[in-house]
Structure 1
């Protein structure tokens, strides 16, 4: 599991624990299930449940109460959806959403701009649990992050704006981005 995903999954796990929600990672290769990063281990069991099964195979998830977060959905997620759905699927990695559409889940979108997975989960929680309409959530689109005195990078995502006015990112993410920026071209291969 990559460092970026690990930080996102830690953030999702911590926020899920705080809200009393479960967080399922499905379709995880068996070799990875047994070799998850140690930093995630404190969350395994509650709230984090890791399985090699597909979401369609989870007996604890009723298909008629599942919402597929889908950028192509016609309807936006709204606070009223708290009465309609019990589970939310985030499948955007490598366009996994396209594969999940075939199961007929009802879809909702979070707007047209791409979000990181932890941001999409955070926004969904704000809408469903806090009953906030999407338009009331403060966003930062494509924020520019200062890496050092001379360098910055623009992130190609929408983030929730934190109370400090900065994009709300998982703990350690800015440091990871700075570390990646220090790598030479050959370090990525």
Structure 2
């Protein structure tokens, strides 16, 4: 049986660097874990990897150079790999069976890349989060809602885990920057009470900046 305390959420960081998009996502995951008594860990970090100050300042966060297969070499049964190719969807009872939930940093790719395959080969049991692609912070948020029911961002604010299909979603939202500028996000997000997608703080500004940069490249 899983421990009764907060769960541990791990992203096996498969990139050499940490881009601004991932940094905001990781800060969001760490902040939400901190708020509900869970933990967030980045694993397989290169020795020279520099963790951003705002991320390292969050007590729930841990940076780890070891890979998950080394950290949990003796108890792989504790680890659930969130895997788009898994045979079963994540369910509330998985909170009783696992206390570590592992993400391969793959859910935010568009089009999706099967980067989870490297973790799949290491023998971790897998669960799906449904048919639509999510950003990494959304995947962690949905997982926590299903197995713990803990969040400070959602309604109702309770400790009751919810089936995957009962989590409120907004798919492929259009972000409007002004009367003439907008962009459609190719991901599924958790829906906030105001109907808007829950996104990391600063993400909309970053997306707008990237969109402006792309437009400037045309001239």
TM norm structure 1: 0.91
Structure 2 residue runs of 5 or longer lacking an equivalent are: 1-17, 107-112, 150-160
Alignment match, 1:56: 69
Write out aligned runs for 1:29-178 (5 A): 29-32=46-49, 35-43=50-58, 46-59=59-72, 62-93=75-106, 95-130=114-149, 131-178=161-208
Higher helix share: 1
Instruction: Please report the RMSD computed on the Cα atoms of aligned residues, expressed in angstroms.
Output: 1.7
Structure 1 residue runs of 5 or longer lacking an equivalent are: none
Aligned residues: 183
Offset at 1:61? 7.7
Is 1:2 the counterpart of 2:19? The answer is: yes
CA 1:61–1:138 in structure 2 vs 1: closer, same or farther (change >3 Å)? farther
Find the aligned partners of 1:8 and 1:136 in 2 and give their Cα distance: 23
Moved over 2 A (4+): 59-62, 92-96, 184-187
TM norm structure 2: 0.79
Alpha-carbon displacement from aligned partner over 1:26-78 (angstroms, at most 9, x marks no partner): 0111111xx222221211xx311111110111159821111000011110000
